[in-house]
Amino acid sequence: MPQGPSKDTGSDAEPLSPVQIPTLKSLYVELRFGNTVLGSATAFLAANDWESHCALITNRHVVTGRHQETGVCLHSKGGIPDNIVIRFHKHGRQLGEWKQITLPLYRTDGTPYWIEHPRLGAAADVVALNLTWGSDVRKVPYYMKTDLDRQKIVVGPAETVSVIGFPFGLSSAGKYPIWATGFLAQELTLATPDNPVFLIDCRTRTGQSGSAVIAFRPAGYRKQGEGVLSTTLSATVAWEFLGVYSGRVNEESDLGKVWHVSAVEEVLAAAAADMAGRVTASPSTPPDSTP
């Protein structure tokens, strides 16, 4: 497990990479009961900026092992996961190597380690897991408050969006994710604080739950700034983090639900408060390497 100081120090300096940065951000996860693999999904790291708290983000139904709305067990083996295995990128300038980290999902008293949405609670299909970090794991989070991942790109209906994850547990190479690209299926402005969800039209499948959803623009994009909408042409790629994918509306449809970035921000803030509370409770002992 990652070992080290309790204070997050931000992402590693990025090496020259043969892949796009968003490819590095999606992480393959397995859900297990003991040593029995029940299924796989996707997760990613999130932080406000380079110096702030960093947490693992995925769907609530991924960690509960139950359908978010019906509560029915999702796994054919009938098990409910009690630990999660995450494939992190190894620290260092050499890419293409991963480190397997196993985290328990429940404390000894049966309460969950994951942190739910502070307002919507179990109704929100997005959760965070806290970790402490050491030099053996590379952190490549989505930043909520910087212009690396939040460039104020305007995304409208019928414009392309990408779901970056592991459909059916498959990867493009090693544990690099697969990009599934579809279209925004509604106005983003219709997502509200009480229902921070929007729809996309994309051919997604099992295993992509917990994937980051971004608008990836290789050449140009529309941008909102100081009340003015402008078109930007760029020689470099740009992307906008939009939220976390949580599954199709039903098995016969390619319409999928995405929990808006604002919901991720609120869960991240709750995760930071949880970590700060544990540090305050035991100031002489940094949190261990469990969530």
Whether 1 is covered by a domain: the verdict is no
Question: 123 and 33 in one domain?
Answer: yes
228 to 42, 216, 222, 224: CA distances (angstroms): 36, 21, 10, 6
Question: 180 and 128 in one domain?
Answer: no
Question: 65 and 107 in one domain?
Answer: yes
Q: Given CA atoms 129, 130, 135, 139 in this order, what sign does their dihedral have?
A: positive
pLDDT confidence tier of residue 229, bands split at 50, 70 and 90: low
Alpha-carbon torsion angle 176, 180, 183, 189, nearest 10: -40
What pLDDT score does 284 carry?
45
Q: How much is the average pLDDT of 162-172?
A: 97
* pLDDT tens, position by position, 105-130: 999 999 999 999 999 999 999 999 99
Residues spanned by the domain of 63 = 21-143+264-281
Question: 251 and 178 in one domain?
Answer: yes
Q: How much is the average pLDDT of 132-136?
A: 84
Of 25 and 16, more confident: 25
Question: 205 and 138 in one domain?
Answer: no
Q: For the whole model, what pTM was predicted?
A: 0.89
Whether 7 is covered by a domain: the verdict is no
Question: 101 and 180 in one domain?
Answer: no
Whether 249 is covered by a domain: the verdict is yes
Q: How many domains does the chain have?
A: 2
Q: What is the DSSP string of 59-72?
A: -HHHHH-B-TTT--
pLDDT confidence tier of residue 291, bands split at 50, 70 and 90: very low
